[in-house]
Chain A
């Protein structure tokens, strides 16, 4: 069931009604039944996958908790202990917990890897074996909906319980709801149990403003998805799918179009997710904070798909940075008096681990690996070269606090992002290289500025292009207002009734009239649904 289908909205409306009518202490049961029902529309085997993963998380969490509780009880029983004995006790407990943690995280990750990457492994093996004429058959493996998202949520939970950040959930139902909560199962945000778990246990009374804000966010998300993303995708796909027939100007148009499309698609989808959860009184984390306003690539990754970035920071970045090999390397540099190297070694090694994982998370292909390495090189490079930038800035007397310099930073970051997006979206690494090269060497200015009509021969006529332009302008204006600190929904709520309803009707009409629908009046799939 797609988040932009009519059946989803009927499902959501009925669920909201039942949820607020149901006795408050059973609200979580309604949500769990709805989440499993939603998941069941993808088929029974998918549901079996998610239940198995939840069982792993449940029993591993309980085991870690019992090791910790038992150790605490034994320590109390033992009475006064010396510092040494306490440290030894703690270490023993930590080691035991660690074993359970490694096993359970390994199992969860193992399922994800087998399901998502087996066929990629076979294709790599086949290319190695092709000189001798041997070929392995591809396997028909079921990839459960949202497996990357819920597996990451489970791993986060297991690591946090292992670290003692919070206690393990003793109620299977609450944990099952956390793993399967339908608004975020398809494309995130990636939730943390510490933030969302307690919300499932609270009673939620019907609040008109909360539900209204949820509906407004859904409408805004649909506007981004149906009017902007799906419209832009027609022209973007025309070029990306037949890149060989086009030149550099079209590649620039396709890349800019794709940057708009993917943002509108993904952030629009997440708006629907967050809005749906808000209708039910559940607050999900913000996943997009206007990333194209970032002045550096590192900042962009804090604002784009922030829940994945946060997950990576917590469970990969810090552990790698503080790992024994990286710390030893840094200390060795310091002992030799290489202070600069000692400082940058951890900061330049870790982005390669993090972004390689982010790249591979996006899909099983070399192009995603290249996408990850490209981002890592730039983030690590900017850390390593920070003192050089500072020196150059001082020499040229550049004031980095000026609006013009910030604008330069935004444009530079947007350009870097666009190149990265081409790497990730082109059909292959070779195709992306061809396109990127073309953007710098083979640009027809008439085509680029729409003077020779090529722009209108990409599947979108003049009227359609105009609609897209206006819709993007609306998105840009709203983003600028939000960036200046304005809270849109609160501001709208303060306006006159007439204006508010004109706005609601306007956006609904825009979605209905200008939205791009397939033959059965259903929108195309969200891009991130595949991850």
Chain B
């Protein structure tokens, strides 16, 4: 897993967002709830991680880096 792949996945859900620089994806209302669920679904399929409702927090989805860290943590836990 690397950051480029994460950004590629994010782009497949919403192509119009500058994931490389944006750090307020949820708090800044750039992503809506449908986008978040789309991202969760793509990440689950790609990496086989189980993202639960407890993981759906703004802190985990505010930037590509935060998403990357969350997936890393979940992979480590599993």
Contact = CB atoms under 8 A, between A and B. Distances in A.
A313 B32 CA distance: 10
A347 B36 CA distance: 11
Kindly name the residue among B40, B44, B56 whose own CB sees the greatest number of chain A CB atoms within 10 A: B56
A87 to B, nearest CB: 8
A245 B68 CA distance: 63
B3 interface: no
A357 to B, nearest CB: 15
B67 to A, nearest CB: 16
B34 A318 contact: no
A330 B54 contact: no
B32 A302 contact: yes
Given A322-B40, A330-B41, A346-B41, A383 B56 contact: no
A166 to B, nearest CB: 12
Contacts of B32: 298, 302
Given A302-B32, A334-B45, A319 B37 contact: no
Nearest to B41: A330
Given A317-B33, A343-B41, 15 more contacts: A87-B77, A163-B53, A163-B54, A298-B34, A313-B33, A318-B53, A319-B53, A322-B37, A322-B40, A327-B44, A346-B37, A346-B41, A347-B37, A347-B38, A383-B34
A325 interface: no
Contacts of B52: 322
Interface residues of A, number: 23
A318 B45 contact: no
A164 interface: yes
A305 to B, nearest CB: 16
Nearest to A346: B37
A319 B54 CA distance: 10
A319 B56 CA distance: 10
A321 interface: yes
Contacts of B41: 327, 330, 342-343, 346
Contacts of A87: 77
A342 B45 CA distance: 11
A318 B37 contact: yes
Nearest to A317: B33
Nearest to B44: A327
Given A163-B53, A163-B54, A318 B33 contact: yes
Nearest to A354: B33
Pick the 4 closest A-B CB pairs, nearest first. Answer: A321-B37, A313-B33, A318-B56, A163-B54
A343 B54 CA distance: 22
Nearest to A347: B34
A383 B52 CA distance: 23
B51 interface: yes
A528 B73 CA distance: 44
Interface string A487-501: 000000000000000
A347 B33 CA distance: 9
Contacts of B40: 321-322
B26 to A, nearest CB: 11
Nearest to A330: B41
A376 to B, nearest CB: 13
Interface string A292-333: 000000100010000000000100011101100001001100
B11 to A, nearest CB: 14
